[in-house]
Homo-oligomer: A and B are copies of this chain.
Amino acid sequence: MANIQDFINKLDELKFDDMYMNDFFLTWEKTFDELQATWTVADALRYLRENNISTKVFDSGLGISLFRDNSTRTRFSFASACNLLGLEVQDLDEGKSQVAHGETVRETANMISFMADVIGIRDDMYIGKGNTYMHEVADSVAQGYKDGILEQRPTLVNLQCDIDHPTQIMADALHCIHEMGGLENMKGKKIAMTWAYSPSYGKPLSVPQGAIGLFTRLGCDVVLAHPEGYEVMPEVEEIARKQAEESGGSFTKTNNMAEAFKDADIVYPKSWAPFAAMEKRTNLYAEGDSDEIKALEKELLAQNAEHKDWCCTEELMKTTKDGKALYLHCLPADINDVSCKDGEVEASVFDRYRDPLYKEASYKPYIIAAMILLEKFKNPQKVLAELEKRGQKRIFEA
């Protein structure tokens, strides 16, 4: 777009009042207007930064990050988003903190939030737990604000849970939108969200679930492909089906990777663990049964190994639309003969898409910042206008 007013005009067409003073858990809990507002604000923030205009809207304030799993990308994306808006990140690292020592969620959530404007949580390891935990935290601080304990309501950004990975998939979608030349061009595009082989085990379901839960709203023809036994959560499939109907797209399933790739405009081949196995593992962990856990891991790796042919090859890529489907991945990918012997994708395919893959990832900090901005400001249009008017340089100009 040519100037900030274009983004403001776009926002003026949308209804997203409910995002203010609210949290962001799952994309399908948001209206389509709200998703569009998020993409629009993300693009607007990027526009301002590219024009060296500071988007610091906080002059002090904390962004709390709570990771229950190792993470580089998401950690840096959240830190970048907070920094972009003027918030300082404080990590609540369970190793360093007393969280591990049996405190209740409610107490800890309030104790760390006296100066917190936003809390970002990643908790994707156990089925049925991560999203629930996030709601506990969000409810706790919302109550703390209501009770006058907290002077501001810290809003939550889901940085990946057991059900959805909204910051990733919203970034993926924004990448597609730009590559396809606009949201309206997504209609009728065929998207293959397919399982792929990985020698590692237990990768989260949040990306495939997030993908079918979001792209079905854009009028796309979404195909979910995986070997038998690698089903995702049935509730999410149900949502995808319903949404596809509403948007004029479609949602189909297949156990045939080639079928999914055939004439696809966009492919997203990625490994994940079977939902049923993840659920079983969650229960075994709860019971602390380490022998059974080891047995399950062994079994799952053996099961994976039966599907080494599920790989994004040059041959398969040739069958996509003009042989040039847009290849997506949340990274890091398991690349044949690079990160492992057999993996999710052939090295030559991956290499050809390196730049688009990095661009795909580059949207994430802006998506997170947009979620925060929409949660914290009633009138983001005015914020954007005033930021440009203020004209504070991000890098000193001399």
Q: Does A276 contact B (CB under 8 A)?
A: no
* Cβ proximity bits A331-373 to B, threshold 8 Å, 1 near / 0 not: 1100000110000000000000011001101101100000000
Q: Does A398 contact B (CB under 8 A)?
A: yes
How many angstroms between the C-alpha atoms of A149 and B58 in the bound complex? 27
- A395, B54: Cβ atoms under 8 Å? no
How many angstroms between the C-alpha atoms of A86 and B115 in the bound complex? 13
- B59, A56: Cβ atoms under 8 Å? yes
Residues in B neighbouring A149, C-beta threshold 8 A: 355, 358-359, 362
Residues in B neighbouring A376, C-beta threshold 8 A: 395
- A107, B49: Cβ atoms under 8 Å? no
Tell me the chain A residues, 84-100 only, with Cβ under 8 Å from chain B: 84, 86, 88-90, 92-93, 96-99
Name the distance in Å between A87's Cβ and chain B's nearest Cβ: 9
Name the distance in Å between A98's Cβ and chain B's nearest Cβ: 5
Q: Say whether, besides A98-B71, A394-B59, A394-B61, A115 and B147 are in contact (CB < 8 Å).
A: no
Q: Which of A61, A359, A393, A398 has the most CB of B within 10 A?
A: A398
A72-80, A189-197, A218-226, A252-260 - the one binding chain B: A72-80
Q: Does A290 contact B (CB under 8 A)?
A: no
- A359, B60: Cβ atoms under 8 Å? no
Chain B minimum-CB-distance residue to A94? B72
Specify which of B83, B97, B115, B339 is in contact with A62 (CB 8 Å cutoff).
B83
Q: Does A28 contact B (CB under 8 A)?
A: no
- B59, A103: Cβ atoms under 8 Å? no
Q: Say whether, besides A62-B79, A383-B396, A395-B376, A112 and B72 are in contact (CB < 8 Å).
A: yes
- A80, B62: Cβ atoms under 8 Å? yes
Chain B minimum-CB-distance residue to A55? B60
Chain B minimum-CB-distance residue to A395? B58
How many angstroms between the C-alpha atoms of A102 and B111 in the bound complex? 35
Specify which of B72, B107, B386 is in contact with A332 (CB 8 Å cutoff).
B107
Name the distance in Å between A63's Cβ and chain B's nearest Cβ: 10
How many angstroms between the C-alpha atoms of A386 and B149 in the bound complex? 28
- B62, A54: Cβ atoms under 8 Å? no
Name the distance in Å between A308's Cβ and chain B's nearest Cβ: 19
- B392, A396: Cβ atoms under 8 Å? no
How many angstroms between the C-alpha atoms of A332 and B112 in the bound complex? 13
Tell me the chain A residues, 140-180 only, with Cβ under 8 Å from chain B: 144, 147-152
Name the distance in Å between A372's Cβ and chain B's nearest Cβ: 12
Q: Does A9 contact B (CB under 8 A)?
A: no
Provide a sorted-by-A list of 16 A–B residue pairs whose CB atoms are within 8 angstroms: A55-B60, A60-B84, A60-B394, A70-B96, A73-B112, A76-B111, A76-B112, A80-B114, A107-B358, A110-B361, A111-B358, A148-B359, A149-B362, A379-B398, A386-B398, A387-B396
* Extra inter-chain contacts (20) besides given A102-B339, A379-B398, CB under 8 Å: A57-B395, A58-B395, A58-B396, A59-B394, A61-B83, A62-B83, A70-B101, A72-B111, A73-B98, A76-B112, A80-B114, A88-B88, A93-B96, A107-B332, A114-B364, A147-B358, A149-B358, A383-B396, A385-B398, A386-B396
Give the interface of A toward B (CB within 8 A): 46, 49-50, 54-62, 70-73, 75-77, 79-80, 83-84, 86, 88-90, 92-93, 96-99, 101-104, 106-108, 110-112, 114-115, 117, 144, 147-152, 331-332, 338-339, 354-355, 358-359, 361-362, 364-365, 376-377, 379, 382-383, 385-387, 392-396, 398
